[in-house]
Amino acid sequence: MELLVYLVPIAFVLGIYSWRRKRLHDSSLRTRRDAEQAGLSEPPSLHPIVDTLTCIGCGSCIKACPEQPEHHVLGMINGKAQLVGPADCIGHGACRVACPVGAIQLVFGTATRGVDLPRLTPWFETNVPGIFVAGELGGMGLIRNAIEQGRQAVEQIQARRPRGPEKLDLVIIGAGPAGFSASLAALERRMRFVTLEQESLGGCVFQYPRGKIVMTQPARLPIVGDIKLRTTSKEDLLDLWQSIEKKTKLKISYRERVETIERVGDGFVVRSTSGEHRTKSVLLAIGRRGTPRKLGVTGEDLPKVTYRLIEPEQYASQRVLVVGGGDSALEAAASIAEVAKTGSVILSHRGDAFGRAKTRNRERIAAAQKMGRLKVILKSQVQSIEPQSIALQADGTVRKVENDAVIISAGGVLPTDFLRSVGIEIDTKFGTV
């Protein structure tokens, strides 16, 4: 009888535990199946792979994922952690940190989709000694991660490169998340540096559509400390950065585009549209969006063609075609469709699903479709662009569609020619670090 007093509570606890594990197993299977059926089985960027032989099934990675529970990124199948919602993973990396047995590794690309990245050491240095890379160019598209990498890169540069009176310590190219953080880190360390930006503060963030939510996790900036903002819009983040720039008296040379980087002696000469800078080290924080991927079709040079959306209202009452299948394309199409006096909006994507887009953007597209404000044409490609129309191929036929504006959001391409001119080697990652 006394034994039952102990066994009954234990059996009850084990029963609850088993029930919860089975429920998680079943929901994980459903999530993975739904993702596969929707064509959403490819992660967009940096993502985890789990060594199932090492995984102990504790679930720490699932609890640590900042996207949960809104998005089911990680799940538990047969007692092992697995990536069940790849398209919703945006590379936070919190899962790897939380794993108590080191069963998770973060990788770029997959066996079927390669990602081109410059070859880097763990200290962010390229194969060219003295030239470093941080942020989106190196694969870190998440703003919080890019900010952290910019700071860490400057720490490495200061520690590894001796200072000299005849040169700058560092030239930072780009004032996006990584470049801005790196600039503050260099300022904090009283390094002799310049920051060159061909457009405006924010880099890729500046190019986002108005109202876009750009951060969902806090970040830490040098000098400033923690940025305790979670759901932050583009405008709020840029306003904050501008106030920090003014308060810290950080100097950034805007509208200065870098043309060449040449090694001279033990340093470099960085030549730009405004002159030249002699430096011991260079940090490339230029991102990938600065070089938009083009369609290569007739008429792409017409004035009505652009590669980013700034103000949706400018397309009111117009017939607009948006090309692309990632978040930028979906956000552009949805934003225009949501304008009160919108004309007609077509979203063309060559794939059969929006596998690289976040759930909330897919939901906006679905809502706009349901309201009849947006038409989605999958497995389609633009054949040509004319002043008043476009030729679109779909279902094996080409048809002409009346059109006033084209927004091409097909992503950015790695500035391969520029990197190779500097001597930087490029690797294609197929599910590797």
Domain membership of residue 2 (yes or no) is: no
The answer to whether residue 413 scores a pLDDT higher than 80 is no
Strand partners, 275: 272
The 3-class secondary structure across the chain, one letter per residue, is CHHHHHHHHHHHHHHHHHHHHHHHHHHHHHHHHHHHHCCCCCCCCCEEEECCCCCCCCCHHHHHCCCCCCCCCEEEECCEEEECCHHHCCCCCHHHHHCCCCCEEEEECCCCCCEEEECCCCCCECCCCCEEECHHHHCCCCHHHHHHHHHHHHHHHHHHCCCCCCCEEEEEECCCHHHHHHHHHHHHCCCCEEEEECCCCCCCCCCCCCCCEEECCCEEECCCEEECCCCEEHHHHHHHHHHHHHHHCCCCEECCCEEEEEEECCEEEEEECCEEEEEEEEEECCCCCCCECCCCCECCCCCCEECCCCCHHHHECCEEEEECCCHHHHHHHHHHHCCCCECEEEEEECCCCCCCCCHHHHHHHHHHHHCCCCEEEECEEEEEEECCEEEEEECCEEEEEECCEEEECCCECCCHHHHHHHCCCEEEECCEC
Domain membership of residue 100 (yes or no) is: yes
C-alpha–C-alpha distance, residues 393 and 377, integer Å: 10
Q: Which of 36-50, 145-159, 260-274, 276-290 has the lowest mean pLDDT?
A: 36-50
The answer to whether residue 291 scores a pLDDT higher than 80 is no
Residues 232 and 160 both lie in one domain: yes
pLDDT score for 410: 82
The helix (H) or strand (E) run that includes residue 330 is: helix 327-337
Average pLDDT, the chain: 84
pLDDT score for 397: 92
Domain membership of residue 1 (yes or no) is: no
Domain membership of residue 18 (yes or no) is: yes
Write out the two tokens for 377.
């044409």
Domain membership of residue 148 (yes or no) is: yes
Q: How would residue 85 be classed by pLDDT, with cut points 50, 70 and 90?
A: confident
Residues 284 and 255 both lie in one domain: yes
CATH number at residue 318: 3.50.50.60
Residues 381 and 418 both lie in one domain: no
- Of 59, 82, 107, the domain-final residue: 107
Count CB neighbours of 289 within 10 A.
Answer: 21
pLDDT score for 4: 64
Residues 262 and 219 both lie in one domain: yes
The answer to whether residue 363 scores a pLDDT higher than 70 is yes
Q: How far apart are the first and last CA of the chain?
A: 58
Q: How would residue 68 be classed by pLDDT, with cut points 50, 70 and 90?
A: confident
C-alpha Rg value of the chain to the nearest Å? 24
Domain membership of residue 181 (yes or no) is: yes
Write out the two tokens for 310.
């700034």
C-alpha–C-alpha distance, residues 389 and 255, integer Å: 34
Residues 374 and 425 both lie in one domain: no
Q: Which of 38-52, 225-239, 251-265, 357-371 has the lowest mean pLDDT?
A: 225-239
pLDDT score for 338: 87
Residues 139 and 277 both lie in one domain: yes
pLDDT (mean) for 314-320: 89
Domain membership of residue 21 (yes or no) is: yes
The answer to whether residue 215 scores a pLDDT higher than 60 is no
- Of 73, 107, 141, the domain-final residue: 107
CB 431 within 8 A of CB 109: yes
The answer to whether residue 403 scores a pLDDT higher than 60 is yes
More confident residue, 8 or 31: 31
Q: Please state, for a pLDDT cut of 70, what percent of the chain lies above it.
A: 86
Residues 276 and 401 both lie in one domain: no
322 class by beta-carbon count within 10 Å (0-12 exposed, 13-18 middle, 19+ buried) = buried
More confident residue, 325 or 202: 325
More confident residue, 139 or 398: 398
pLDDT (mean) for 133-151: 82
- Of 107, 135, 159, the domain-final residue: 107
* Cβ contacts of 359 within 8 Å, gap of 6 or more: 70, 71, 87, 88
Q: Please state, for a pLDDT cut of 90, what percent of the chain lies above it.
A: 34
pLDDT (mean) for 147-176: 85
Residues 150 and 270 both lie in one domain: yes
pLDDT score for 346: 94
pLDDT (mean) for 228-253: 82
Residue-wise pLDDT for 12-24, tens only, equals 667 676 777 788 8
* Cβ contacts of 188 within 8 Å, gap of 6 or more: 222, 223
The boundaries of the domain holding residue 315 are 305-408
More confident residue, 27 or 402: 402
Residues 78 and 212 both lie in one domain: no
Q: How would residue 238 be classed by pLDDT, with cut points 50, 70 and 90?
A: confident
pLDDT (mean) for 139-167: 80
* pTM across the whole model: 0.72
Domain membership of residue 297 (yes or no) is: no
CATH number at residue 88: 3.30.70.20
Residues 199 and 267 both lie in one domain: yes
Residues 59 and 163 both lie in one domain: no
The DSSP call for residue 62 is: H
Residues 264 and 165 both lie in one domain: yes
Instruction: Report how many domains make up the chain.
Output: 3
